Structure 1
């Protein structure tokens, strides 16, 4: 593109210079020749005028009388033919070269004056004029090419930069560059690329977040399922095997539900699946799943609260939130874990509490932020739990740092 710009600019400049210089050279050449011709003619008229004056004064007309008309340094040559004189009067020396500049004048008494001047000075003036025009044209072309090179760089550099930005977007680097170039069209392209980079960045962030959430949401039911299978492996009691297998099948169904909701997450809102459900049923199911894991560490799980509470939400999502809170207590807490239910105004509150050291002061309200963790864990468990709660129209809060008390607030459904 740069070469095309240079070639097109050079072509335009050359055509412009040619259209300007050629007519100017012709006009100047004619002007120089015309000035030389006028000078010779003026000289002839002057000599003729002197001859007429001598005729009028009855003075003799001879070479001596006309000798002073030709300066010693003059390059002009004059031949005066007087009627009655056998020999012409010659002034100066004949000019060198062929085709001299010549002027002929005749007087009323029949005299004839021929003045000639060498064409050499005229040709020299024409050459100097042409050299001047060529120099001006060369300077014009050079200036135009310098300007064209600067302009080509000014235009092509942003294009190269925009191409690099597009290549970066194609290679998966969605950072906007926020570069502008002072040209409306190129600035518009840069703005669109930056907007595209921001959209791609948001899409990639959403995909990475979905992958992280999916891995964490799947890890909890898989951990519970693994514990049930371990219980089956360690026991020889057929009834216990059947019981644990039935619970494992239920966990597989919940795992399938988690996968299904993850697949439809980008298409549907979880609020569309919100229903009235029995809180006790969800809590008891989670208690059965997590008691074996707590028991391995010598810890107990207690349930407290009034029975028969109905909440509005998605049972599977609420079960995941409670599982995330129990797992958080298992990993970061200590002592017994208590799941407590209560009613607050129009809300059903599910609290999960343990007897550990609690949430460090430096975490505090940041405990629900992604990547924030006090024990080198992934730091997304509580963040995912809060997202699930908010998707159901509820909210998840840290009520107390010491002892640690997390509370899930859900809409309440009045019993019939």
Structure 2
């Protein structure tokens, strides 16, 4: 901005100086030229009158002209009898000259050196040029000072915006001489207050929701544990109750991880489990659901070389399997391979591949939705990023999701 302001002011100054100085210089040069031409004309008339008076009393000699001529002037007198008398500077092609007729016959020509006239024009125009240069220099200095003063508020506003982004906006507002800059500063500070209140409400909501959910979840878990410990409970029912307790524990872990993600904490710092076990567990959880729709889930041979993964990886696999069952076709295949420092887990089905990667982006209507419909893949991508990995949509014709995670031994 400062450069553009300086360039604009200097350009305006140059334009004004040119519009004033060029016509002024031309007028000065023409005035000098006209003045010298008039002087030569008057001198020719005066000398012709002197020659007429002198011819009445005697011959015209060079002494008559020498006392009246300057070094840059010259006179040529041609008498009635044809005699020529030249006094002073020799005439040149660019000299000013004036020829008049003498009263008793003959002609008189007066010349003035062109170089002398040029020098007079230069002497008259030079001050105009120096004034223009001085004005241009002052304009440049003024443009720098004015540009700095005008841009300083916006530099401060940029710092205020950076502080707003970093969350360290000072409470003391800046004092600006320009009302526009003061208005922008007030708008930024009002926006900062609004954002702070909104973020505080969201954090309070997340904490309250977590607390309100944990209490009934804990109560249900205790009741299920009590039922599983009753002697009258059949073994088959006890097995289902223990499975339900495990799912409740997973639900509590998911709430904890989502709360940590909302607070900006790293999900990778949560407890880890063997990745092969996590994959098999996710496949078993969704196998009955897939079989109910006439489909199947197949997992390749997995070994312990895959290492471990944070608990959030289980949530991502649940979303991918649910998405494959709901939107995909055919057999669902889960594969995993470790390459150097990363592990790639792929969940594929035989359905057509969605176009683009917009399925990982939250649409505007989903940002304020309360049902949670359509945000699973977007949330999974964010969880993968928090784990230091990526969630990608691959494949050419069929759907294949790849979860890339850092390898953990």
**Structure 2 length normalisation: TM-score?**
0.47
Structure with higher Rg: it is 1
**Structure 1 length normalisation: TM-score?**
0.46
